[in-house]
Structure 1
Amino acid sequence: MDGKEKENQSGLCDSSVVQHSGYLRSSPDAYYFYWFFESQTDPSNAPLTIWLNGGPGCSSMVGLWQELGPCKLGPNGEHTINNPYSWNKYSNPAGAGFSFGEDDVNSSRSGAKPAYDFIVNFLKRYPKYAKLPLHFFGESYAGHYIPVYADYILQQNHLVKTGRLDNPIIQLQTIGIGNGWTNSLIQMEQYPTMACNSSYGALISEGTCNRMRANLPRCLERIRRCHSTDLDRDCSLADSYCNKHVVSLFDQAKRSYYDVRTVSSPPPTYRDYLNRNTTKGLIGAVGTYHECSDEVFDRFFLTGDGIRNTDTQVAGLLDNGIKVLIYAGDADYICSWYGNYAWLEELAFNGREDYQSQSMQPWMVDGIEAGQIQSGGNLTFIRVYEAGHEVPYYQPKAAQSMFYDHIH
């Protein structure tokens, strides 16, 4: 084991289960941090779940501490408190953060191999989990990561099965993406809907709405050019134009891009806690915790990665028997439920007719309508009422129920 590859069992957050945290090398100069918790229920047979946050370049500590991890930081900022709606009640989840080193990842495509290598190295270090079914979950820019990474996993599994690669088979069964960014062309078209005519009312003035609508055709023209040429320059220019002349006109609302009902996003109260030497010592982390990396974001922006679509990979996963869950809090502006529902309606896959023959129905959780659902052909879409960008933060009980139903 490389001297920088450390492994700890801290007991932090959930002392009732086995947990592991530390570093795995994913390239010669890059070390990825992970934090893994065994399931509270039958860990030897419970599935393995990987969670990724978005950005690009943001840590999955966001998901662990604000959304679906086994604990949250208490009001005094000194102690952790139990999260009764943690997803490790039913699965063995792993997350990331505190990673360090150098790599040349500047797009979802170039990130696929190091992501795959990380999972393989994790399963080699902990072979007891290698035979468990795997569920790949994330939110936001994970709408790019997960389809591309999951598609790469299937490609590598094929090489393993045909004897051309000596790695464990990754038992991928499903993916789940919350308020994801997947199809730029279709989702971009829905920004005026969310800003000007959502279920939460008009959020910007009619004049600004008209500007947004007027600028949209030029934005879509640039996106189509990116898709046609696949040149980094064209894709980056489309990204820049659309963000400036369509997406950011929402600034007039003076509301959160991630929850249009408020002016602020969930506070990252756990940052200081993670940067304490005592905390880092327990989990085996080094350096300073940073929520998001501007350097990574800039590298992805320069390639125009966000304008390239990843819905083709989603269709391929469905055609290969992978179940797909797309869910969206309906108070999110930046990756709205309108946009996510719209690109699924256009998705070409083998179960398309089955999915499109259905309609949105009430989604019930414990006898209460928590949203709307449409399902068919191994594809499920859920609109979650009264939830922002981080669905498990706003609706933890409903999110846990959704996760349980999907993995079972």
Structure 2
Amino acid sequence: MVFITMSLLVKALVFVTFFVVTAESAPESALITKIPGFDGTFPSKHYSGYVTIDKEHGKNLWYYFIESEKNPSKDPVVLWLNGGPGCSSMDGFVYEHGPFNFEPKKANTSLPLLQLNPYSWSKVSNIIYLDSPVGVGFSYSKNESDYQTGDIKTAIDSHAFLLKWFHMFPEFQSNPFYISGESYAGVYVPTLASEVVKGNKDGLKPALNFKGYLVGNGVADSVFDGNALVPFAHGMGLISDQLFEDVTEACNGNFYEIDGLDCEEQMTKVQMDVNKLNIYNILEPCYHGTSLSAFDIRSLPSSLLQLGKTEKPLAVRKRMFGRAWPVRAPVRPGIVPSWSQLLADVSVPCIDDRVATAWLNDPAIRNAIHAKEENEIGRWVLCSGKLSFDHDAGSMIKFHKNLTLSGYRALIYSGDHDMCVPFTGSQAWTRSLGYKVIDEWRAWISNDQVAGYTQGYANNLTFLTIKGAGHTVPEYKPREALDFYSRFLEGSKI
């Protein structure tokens, strides 16, 4: 017979309680308690830090996690990825749908002032901002060979991050999980989603409760994206009817590959008509001036611009670059040139990144959000020049088809004034899947106004435009973005 004294029973209960709490709660060391420049109270818990995905190499991915302001124990967990390749997801945090609005610093202050963002996506979801791949933002490796990466390796590494992150935050393992992103994340999202699905099938633990994904103004397929600009420019009144007819005839309707001198001449005319516009939003001015001519890739050595062996010299010479490779320069298999090579340490064309750059390089901010110091990993930049990146996944259409036919929900959304990855390409490739239309083209409403247009397909695929928005939709239309995001996550009609 075993006798248990009251004191031993109490100790045992304390031990069990302690184990349960520590085993099912987020790491306290990652908790953010205060951020300089914000004097209010966080409406939900914030966490940030590093997840080591390769101890031998010292390979670390950095994240910022915000619990939902509504019901964190039940609301979806959403991973957010910015594109590039090579751009930090803190772009989305600072300028798009993060918890704060940033007021540029005044003369007597050293940091931007922060106010709560009424249209933060954390209003309705738990959200993880991940700097991926390694070498981007605050993510780093002690072995520089890790900065040679590509689509497939990035997906594998991000999946490794997710498995470790959900192990660190086990209380969220049963929540619905979605992957989202924009721009070159049109590649990151479906490739990572496919890794997650494969990992679940292979029995990797923890199993992720993956439900679907969202892609905003995302690259998908070199042919569809490459043919998107000319129809977009014509529809927006940027080129004349006559030029549209001439270029269509000269190029036989194929703007993806320039074939022949006549086609080259007409495409040059198109280029001349649009090259002084802000490629990310044709309605907006360019921060770096009214012209992109200073960033015209014709001024750079052509040896830096070989995206693939099939690249034609003319197409190479006429590239413009941004937070995704513009459709005038569709992404093809091969090494994508680094940002430092392309821009020689100049900021991304047309993008005013002063607030994010100043904020994320302030020592007090980096300390508060658990990021390594500048003398350890270098300055934070919007888009990294460290990477040698290989676009090795090919067209995303096969990924989208496999995922949607497997029952996962997909929202493909486009700001309709983006010339970098125009909606005309996304609309065309979603239609090309051949799914039955179950919700015919119609307006969708936000705040009692037409916010854009949508078409719904079988197999849980939805295409959506946002009226007046550019490449980074929530930056231009935050209220409308929160509306469609909320409706998609809850499964209601947009």
TM-score category of the 2 structures, normalised to the smaller one: 0.7 to 0.9
Q: Distance in 2 between matches of 1:175 and 1:305?
A: 21
Per the alignment, residue 90 of structure 1 pairs with 124
> 2:230, 2:244 within 8 Å by CA — same for their partners in 1?
no
Preserved CA contact (<8 Å) 2:83 2:181:
yes
Match of 2:44 in 1: 17
Retained in 2: the 8 A contact 1:147–1:311?
no
Matched residue, 1:407 = 489
Residue matched to 1:260: 282
Q: For each residue in 1:79-118, what CA deviation from the matched residue of structure 2 results, as whole angstroms up to 9, or x when unmatched? A: 1111100000000101034111141553211211101000
Q: Return 95-104 or 185-194, whichever deviates more.
A: 95-104
Q: Distance in 2 between matches of 1:322 and 1:247?
A: 43
Report % sequence identity.
Answer: 28
Give unpaired runs (5+ residues) of structure 1.
1-5, 224-241
Q: Please say if residues 192 and 209 of structure 1, whose CA atoms lie closer than 8 Å, have aligned partners that are also in contact.
A: no
Unpaired stretches in structure 2, ≥5 consecutive residues: 1-28, 106-110, 131-136, 287-349
Given that 2:65 and 2:128 are in contact with CA atoms closer than 8 Å, whether structure 1 keeps it comes out as yes
Change (3 A) 1:319 1:98: same
1:362 aligns with 2:398: no
Match of 1:182 in 2: 220
Q: Is residue 2:89 matched to residue 1:60?
A: yes
Residues of 1 paired with 2:92 and 2:178: CA distance? 15
Residue matched to 1:173: 211
Aligned: 1:156 with 2:216: no
* Distance in 2 separating the partners of 1:339 and 1:64: 27
Distance of 1:82 and 1:58 partners within structure 2: 24
d(CA) in 1 for partners of 2:178 and 2:385?
Answer: 29
Show the counterpart of 1:46. 75
Instruction: Quote the Cα distance in structure 1 between the aligned partners of 2:48 and 2:64.
Output: 4
Q: Does 1:100 align with 2:149?
A: no
Q: In 2, are the aligned partners of 1:191 and 1:247 still within 8 Å (CA)? A: no
Question: 1:222, 1:46 → 2: CA distance?
Answer: 48
The equivalences for 1:115-130 within 5 A come to 115-130=158-173
C-alpha distance in structure 2 between counterparts of 1:18 and 1:247, whole Å: 53
CA distance in 2 between counterparts of 1:219 and 1:278 reads 49
Q: CA deviation at 1:187?
A: 1.7
Amino acid of the residue matched to residue 54 of structure 1? Answer: G
CA–CA separation in structure 1 for the residues paired with 2:73 and 2:386: 39
State the match for 2:479 in structure 1: 397
Cα distance between partner residues in 1 of 2:439 and 2:222: 25
Q: Of the candidates 367, 376, 382, which is equivalent to residue 457 of structure 2?
A: 376
Q: 1:247 to 1:50 in 2, by over 3 A?
A: farther
How far residue 294 of structure 1 moved from its aligned partner, in angstroms, is: 2.2
Quick check: 1:8–1:284 contact (8 Å CA) kept in 2? no
Question: CA RMSD of the aligned region, Å?
Answer: 2.7
Which protein has the bigger helix share? 1
- Displacement of 1:211 in angstroms is 5.9
Counterparts in 2 of 1:342 and 1:218: CA distance versus 1, 3 Å: closer
How far 1:29 sits from its partner (Å)? 3.1
> Cα–Cα, structure 1 residues 342 and 256, in superposed 2: closer, same or farther, change >3 Å?
same
Between the aligned partners of 1:183 and 1:213, the Cα distance in structure 2 is 23
What does the per-residue CA deviation read over 1:241-263, in whole Å, with 9 as the maximum and x for residues that have no partner? x9xx7899368530111001123
**Residue in structure 2 matched with residue 233 of structure 1 by the alignment:** none
Match 2:371 to one of 280, 285, 310? 285
Residues 147/246 of structure 1: CA separation in 2 closer, same or farther (3 Å cut):
farther
Change (3 A) 1:248 1:48: farther
For 2:423, give the aligned amino acid.
W
AA aligned to 2:206 is P
Q: Tell me, what secondary structure is at the counterpart of 1:176?
A: strand
User: Using a 3 Å threshold, how does the CA distance of structure 1 residues 188 and 279 change in structure 2: closer, same or farther?
Assistant: same
Mapping for residues 247-326 of structure 1, pairs under 5 Å: 249=271, 252-264=274-286, 265=350, 267-268=352-353, 269-286=355-372, 287=374, 288-296=379-387, 299-300=388-389, 303-305=390-392, 308-326=394-412
1:263-296, CA deviations, whole angstroms, 9 ceiling, x for partnerless residues? 3245222210110000001011113211111232
Partner residue of 1:7?
Answer: 30
SS of the residue aligned with 2:463? strand
